[in-house]
Amino acid sequence: MKIEDSILKSLSEITDINDMLKDETMIDQLANSKKFAMEINQRVAESKITEKEIDIARESKILHFKKIYLNIKLIIKVSDLLHSVLVFCSFVFWIYQTSILCINTHFNGT
């Protein structure tokens, strides 16, 4: 804002265009303004690059956590299936024990 104010003040004081071309302070102010604008443009470009790097890092973390979530989901499904198989096996074991008892009773007569 300070640069803009000084340029506007200098412009308001000049009455002839030839005076503006000869005014060293005005030329220096415009050169400084141009240099400052270039620095700002460079910083904006750097910030865009940094923003893209942050987005890439964020996406990779999201994908990482998504993979972990899917692995946990798979483990839960396999665990549920294993639990169901074990419950079924205990039922089959009970039927086996009962049938052995019946066969022994029938053939042994006790």
Q: Where are the beta strands (DSSP E) in the chain?
A: none
CB atoms within 10 A of CB 29: 19
Cα separation of 100 and 94, whole Å? Answer: 10
Residue 10's pLDDT is 73
Residue 80's pLDDT is 96
| pTM of the predicted protein model | 0.51
Domain that holds residue 11: 2-108
Residue 81's pLDDT is 96
| pLDDT digit string, tens, across residues 5-25 | 777 777 777 777 776 777 777
- What mean pLDDT value characterizes the chain? 85
Cα separation of 21 and 32, whole Å? Answer: 16
The domain tally of the chain equals: 1
Residue 38's pLDDT is 92
